[in-house]
Copies of this chain bind each other. A is one copy, B any other.
Amino acid sequence: MRFGILGTGVVGKTIAARLDGMGHEVMVGTRNPEDTMARTEPDQYGSPPFSAWQHEHQGVRLGAFSEAAAHGEMVVNATSGAVSLEALEMAGEDNLNGKLLIDVSNPLDFSRGMPPTLWVSNTDSLGERIQRRFPEAKVVKTLHTMNAYLMVDPTQLAEADHSVFVSGDDPEAKAEVTELLRSFGWTDIIDLGDITTARGTEMVMPIWLRLYGALQEPIFNFKIVR
């Protein structure tokens, strides 16, 4: 399948690499491809520049947000939550309409210092804002409650005996995402309901960040024991 992955950060690259490795046709989208390719320094998290990464993943193409969105039969929003709505505007409504839009972003606000707070929560969510802004896209919120490496390879922890949540208004879109998650190795996939349930999963980020601080290790996840 053709995937457009919006965002060249760790999350976008990790998802792109996984999908490429599974034989999908992947284009990663960025604001300005020339700028992205021109970078030679590691990013603020110490990750190698995109050009070095792409050298290891030559099947993955890079394009503008709009090109990646047009390329994808499914589009993944892996941009930083602070700029997701802006990035999706650049991707273009026409390139998103009718498509499954997997939203893995978190509305983190780093402007108040660490740990970050959420710039939307409680009575609304970023997933809902995206769905409202792009009513013809089929937004499914998932995978944003864990580290990027676990998203695409849950079997590296406890033989995948932990949980991933799915929120969205379109049952068929959620069924497609569930299939994709299974192909990543997920076995415990919990459909929470419509896109408003993204409030709950986005509000998991504060405890995730505190657990990261307490455990000193990002490879952990929530399992819903029942």
Contacts of A213 in B (CB 8 A): 192-193
Q: Which of B123, B201, B206 contacts A199 (CB 8 A)?
A: B206
For the complex formed by this chain, how many copies does it contain in all? 2
Q: Mark A168-204, 1 if CB is under 8 A from B, else 0.
A: 0000000000000000000000111100010111011
Is A117 among interface residues, defined by CB-CB distance under 8 A? yes
Is A61 among interface residues, defined by CB-CB distance under 8 A? no
A203→B207 contact, CB < 8 A: yes
In the complex formed, the residue of B with least CB distance to A221 is: B225
Contacts of A220 in B (CB 8 A): 224-226
How many chain A residues sit at the interface, stated as a range, is 35 or more
In the complex formed, the residue of B with least CB distance to A118 is: B122
A224→B222 contact, CB < 8 A: yes
Q: A-side interface residues toward B, CB under 8 Å?
A: 112, 117-118, 121-123, 157-158, 161-162, 165, 190-193, 197, 199-201, 203-204, 206-211, 213-215, 217, 219-226
New contact pairs (19) apart from A203-B203, A211-B224, A222-B224, CB-CB < 8 Å: A112-B123, A117-B122, A121-B203, A162-B223, A162-B225, A190-B211, A192-B207, A192-B213, A200-B210, A204-B204, A204-B207, A215-B226, A219-B226, A220-B224, A221-B224, A221-B225, A222-B222, A222-B223, A222-B225
